[in-house]
């Protein structure tokens, strides 16, 4: 390095133009954070109740899926619980009952179908649940993405309420009782998931795969365009991006991944119940994402841990949990708007 | 007379016939005929509210015209979407910055480059193909004088740099026709000179239409000038003819530069 170039570099550093090096670091800080997260979920069962950790992973994935839509696409869905819930119902039902469809009655018409399948293995049940959520995502997305902002949120909320009442009425959801005593079954017909270690490992693999998929989506050109649409939709359209198709695809991906979380959690907790489709669940995922850090890669996982931890450890307060939660949410929004990870990332000046 | 600068015999790159655009009861543009030849430098002048930006929006496809036809390279494009026009080689800038302020300079240019590619709706895409587009984005940053600023968030660029980036975004589509909407507005005198130089150095095969309030910039760059008033074209001619025109003087030259319109 010549003295001249050294001086230029120094001048650039003084002018605060250390950005290129920050960019080089970007991948590294994310890799370190990822390693920390993986290590945490691998080692934490030694100290923390594994069932609780599995819940954190399921809801962490749910919140990550939600964050894909809100944090990167700028779309606030206030009905995301419908995807979590419907996938849970489908997975639980298939894992418990399989399919026994003699005939399909549509009004007066009866179509002989005659499909009969034994109870699904957990991986197929989870897959089917996620697909069901994806299909629901297409239907809801096609309607909702036609509007923006508050109208988008209201449409998703309204449709989620319809799904909620459908789940109360439908014959296969067990109404108020839900679907209980869902067998965990054997993964690929081989690994018995009633073994807590096997179950934990399965959830861990699903969580990490879902997380990495979302990471990949965010950092793909698709994710880049999604951010552009969030920043300035008319300009994105005039640059040649069909914004509606991007938003729809983001919505469906988010719904499917939320479904993956819901289906997994139904198998883990052997239960699909109404609380998963209730609007308070949609509110909870907003809370998790905001507390953890909207638009950050790791925020939703941290947020899920924080919110669920709060619910768990404050459980003895009974009804006061909601009030404490509300207070924490208000404090969070007023004092550290960027969320835990968002503030941390700002403080470290590294993307997380 | 510099008739050679606008050869009437050659097929124009852009041909407008009877273009009108109304917003409710307001006729923002009415009955505009316009021919722009290949490689021409055309300035569109006019007081605020004359319909210049609306005309741009109609040409670029951001608004459909209420009446009239548009031909580009001899093809009718009247109802084509803006992105399809961009693919045909039409690049434009916007008067009010419409950049992605929360993204970096490189990402902005990258998005402009990617937008004219086919098949970009892929959530998972190989990085290999992406590298070329990134390289092109960085090249563009260099050509508009934003070298070293690639990773800077656009929101923290100076106004002048944002105007430069706008030009870069317009160039990303490899345009044969570039439309610049008040590229010099809000720039300091020094920045205006730099921008004028940038425009004068532009590849002569690229046709340029610019809306400009600053007469120094407009008359230095343009070979022909179209003067608009109340949505109509009132005069068209060379800069010298425009300078000499009494109507233009009455309407416009006495007025100060304003950034809106």
Range of A127's domain?
53-275
Residue-range domains of chain B with CATH: 1-89+177-261 (3.40.50.300), 99-174 (no CATH)
Please report residues of A whose CB lies closer than 8 A to that of B98: 232, 234-235, 238
Of B102, B54, B64, the closest CA to residue B85 belongs to: B64
Kindly state whether residue A177 falls inside one of the protein's structural domains: yes
Q: Judge whether A223 and A74 are in contact, CB under 8 Å.
A: no
Shortest distance, CA A239 to any CA of chain B (angstroms): 5
At B257 the three-state DSSP class reads coil
Residue of A nearest to B116 (CA): A240
The pLDDT tens digits of the residues spanning B43-85 come to 998 888 888 999 999 999 888 899 999 999 988 999 888 888 8
- Give the per-residue pLDDT at B120: 63
Kindly state whether residue A280 falls inside one of the protein's structural domains: no
Helix runs in chain B, H state only: 52-60, 82-87, 105-115, 127-143, 159-171, 189-200, 215-221, 239-244, 246-248
A203: contact with B, CB 8 A cutoff: no
Kindly state whether residue A317 falls inside one of the protein's structural domains: no
Q: Which of A27, A240, A245 to substitute to test the interface with B, most B CBs within 10 Å?
A: A240
Numbered residues of chain B with Cβ closer than 8 Å to any chain A Cβ: 60-62, 82-84, 86-87, 94, 98-103, 107, 110-112, 114-116, 120-125, 130, 133, 148, 150-152, 169
Q: Confirm whether the ipTM is greater than 0.90.
A: no
A242: contact with B, CB 8 A cutoff: yes
Count how many domains chain A has.
Answer: 1
Q: How far apart are CA A289 and CA A67, in angstroms?
A: 6
- Give the per-residue pLDDT at A349: 82
- Give the per-residue pLDDT at A337: 84
Shortest distance, CA B120 to any CA of chain A (angstroms): 7
Of A70, A62, A45, the closest CA to residue A308 belongs to: A62
- Give the per-residue pLDDT at B144: 84
Shortest distance, CA B223 to any CA of chain A (angstroms): 29
Judged against a pLDDT cut of 60, whether residue B108 lies above it is answered with yes
- Give the per-residue pLDDT at B125: 57
Kindly state whether residue A244 falls inside one of the protein's structural domains: yes
In chain B, the percentage of residues whose pLDDT exceeds 90 is 20
Residue of B nearest to A223 (CA): B123
Would you say how long chain A is, in residues? Answer: 352
A253: contact with B, CB 8 A cutoff: yes
Please report residues of B whose CB lies closer than 8 A to that of A221: 114, 120, 122, 125, 130, 133
A217: contact with B, CB 8 A cutoff: yes
* Interchain proximity A238–B121, CB inside 8 Å: no
Burial class (CB in 10 A: 0-12, 13-18, 19+), B31: middle
Judged against a pLDDT cut of 60, whether residue B260 lies above it is answered with no
> One digit per residue, pLDDT tens: chain A, 352 residues?
444 444 444 344 334 333 444 444 567 888 999 999 999 999 988 888 999 999 999 999 999 999 999 999 889 999 999 999 999 999 999 998 888 777 777 777 777 777 788 888 888 999 999 999 999 999 999 999 988 889 999 999 999 999 999 999 888 888 888 888 888 888 888 888 888 899 999 999 999 999 999 999 998 888 889 999 999 888 888 888 888 889 999 999 999 999 999 999 999 999 998 999 999 899 999 999 999 999 899 999 999 999 999 888 887 877 788 888 888 888 888 888 888 898 888 888 888 8
Residue of B nearest to A247 (CA): B121
Please report residues of A whose CB lies closer than 8 A to that of B130: 221
- Give the per-residue pLDDT at A16: 38
Judged against a pLDDT cut of 80, whether residue B257 lies above it is answered with no
Please report residues of B whose CB lies closer than 8 A to that of A20: 150-151
- Give the per-residue pLDDT at B129: 67
Chain A 12-31, residues with CB within 8 Å of chain B CB atoms: 12, 17, 19-20, 22-23
Query: A184-210 as b/e, with b when 16 or more CB fall inside 10 Å?
Result: bbebeeebebeeeebbbebbbebbbeb
Kindly state whether residue A259 falls inside one of the protein's structural domains: yes
Tokens for A351, please give them: 């993307």
Kindly state whether residue A293 falls inside one of the protein's structural domains: no
Kindly state whether residue A166 falls inside one of the protein's structural domains: yes
Give the count of beta carbons closer than 10 Å to the beta carbon of residue B36.
Answer: 23
A240 → closest Cβ in B83, B94, B123: B83
Q: What mean pLDDT is predicted for residues B127-134?
A: 73
* Interchain proximity B123–A222, CB inside 8 Å: yes
- Give the per-residue pLDDT at B170: 87
CA–centroid distance for A248 within its chain: 16
* Interchain proximity B111–A236, CB inside 8 Å: yes
- Give the per-residue pLDDT at A321: 80
Shortest distance, CA B83 to any CA of chain A (angstroms): 4
Please report residues of A whose CB lies closer than 8 A to that of B83: 237-241
- CA atoms within 13 A of residue A123's CA, in its CB half-sphere: 11
Q: Judge whether A143 and A155 are in contact, CB under 8 Å.
A: yes
Q: How far apart are CA A244 and CA A242, in angstroms?
A: 6
Kindly state whether residue A110 falls inside one of the protein's structural domains: yes
Judged against a pLDDT cut of 60, whether residue B86 lies above it is answered with yes
Q: What mean pLDDT is predicted for residues B159-176?
A: 86
Reported as a pLDDT band with limits 50, 70 and 90, residue B128 is low
For residue B255, the 8-state DSSP code is S
Q: What mean pLDDT is predicted for residues B192-201?
A: 83
- Which residue(s) pair with B34 in the sheet? B16
Pick from A255-259, B116-120, B124-128: least confident: B124-128
């Amino acid at each position: 390095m010549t003295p001249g170039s050294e001086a230029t570099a120094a001048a650039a550093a003084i002018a605060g133009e250390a950005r290129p090096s920050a960019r080089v670091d970007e991948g590294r800080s994310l890799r370190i954070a990822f390693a920390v997260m993986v290590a945490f979920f691998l080692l934490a069962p030694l100290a923390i109740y594994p069932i609780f950790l599995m819940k954190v992973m399921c809801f962490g994935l749910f919140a990550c899926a939600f964050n894909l839509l809100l944090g990167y696409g700028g779309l606030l869905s206030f009905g995301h619980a419908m995807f979590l819930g419907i996938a849970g119902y489908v997975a639980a039902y298939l894992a418990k009952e399989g399919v026994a469809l003699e005939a399909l009655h549509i009004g007066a018409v009866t179509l002989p179908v005659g499909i009969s399948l034994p109870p699904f293995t957990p991986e197929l049940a989870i897959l089917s649940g996620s697909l069901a959520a994806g299909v629901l995502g297409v239907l809801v997305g096609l309607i909702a993405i036609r509007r923006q902002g508050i109208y988008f949120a209201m449409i998703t909320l309204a449709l989620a309420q319809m799904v909620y009442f459908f789940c109360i009425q439908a014959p296969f959801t067990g109404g108020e009782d839900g679907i209980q005593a869902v067998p965990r079954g054997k993964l690929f017909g081989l690994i018995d998931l009633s073994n807590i270690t096997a179950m934990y490992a399965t959830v861990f693999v699903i969580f990490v795969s879902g997380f990495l998929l979302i990471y990949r989506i965010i950092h793909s050109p698709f994710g880049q365009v999604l951010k552009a649409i969030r920043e300035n939709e008319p300009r994105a359209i005039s640059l040649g991006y069909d914004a509606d198709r991007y938003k729809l695809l983001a919505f469906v991906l988010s719904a499917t991944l939320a479904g993956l979380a819901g289906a997994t959690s139904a198998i883990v907790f052997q239960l699909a119940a109404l609380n998963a489709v209730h609007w308070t669940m949609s509110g909870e995922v907003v809370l998790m994402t905001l507390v953890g850090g909207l638009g950050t890669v790791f925020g939703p996982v941290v947020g899920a841990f924080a919110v669920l931890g709060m619910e768990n450890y404050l459980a003895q307060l009974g009804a006061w949990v909601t009030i404490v939660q509300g207070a924490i949410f208000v404090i969070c929004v007023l004092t550290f708007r960027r969320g835990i990870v968002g503030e941390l990332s700002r403080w470290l000046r590294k993307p997380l | 007379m510099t008739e050679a600068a606008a050869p009437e015999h050659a097929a124009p790159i852009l041909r407008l016939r009877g273009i009108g655009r109304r917003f409710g009861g307001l006729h923002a543009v009415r009955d505009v005929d316009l021919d722009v030849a290949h490689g021409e430098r055309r300035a569109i002048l006019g007081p605020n509210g004359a319909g210049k930006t609306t005309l741009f929006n109609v040409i670029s496809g951001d608004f459909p015209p209420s009446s009239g036809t548009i031909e580009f390279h001899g093809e009718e494009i009247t109802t084509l979407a803006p992105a399809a026009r961009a693919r045909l080689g039409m690049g434009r800038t916007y008067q009010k910055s419409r950049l992605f302020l929360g993204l970096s300079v490189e990402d902005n240019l990258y998005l402009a480059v990617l937008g004219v590619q086919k098949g970009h709706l892929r959530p998972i895409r190989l990085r290999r193909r992406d590298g070329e587009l990134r390289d092109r984005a960085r090249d563009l940053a260099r050509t508009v004088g934003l070298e070293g600023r690639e990773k800077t968030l656009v929101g923290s660029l100076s106004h002048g740099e944002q105007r430069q980036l706008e030009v870069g975004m317009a160039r990303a589509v490899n345009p044969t026709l570039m439309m610049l909407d008040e590229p010099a507005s809000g720039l300091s005198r020094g920045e205006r000179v730099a921008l004028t130089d940038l425009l004068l150095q532009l590849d002569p095969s690229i046709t340029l239409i610019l809306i400009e309030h600053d007469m120094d910039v407009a008359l230095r760059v343009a070979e022909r000038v179209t003067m608009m008033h109340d949505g109509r074209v009132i005069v068209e001619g060379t800069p010298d003819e425009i300078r000499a025109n009494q109507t233009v003087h009455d309407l416009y030259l006495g007025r100060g530069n304003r950034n809106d319109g």
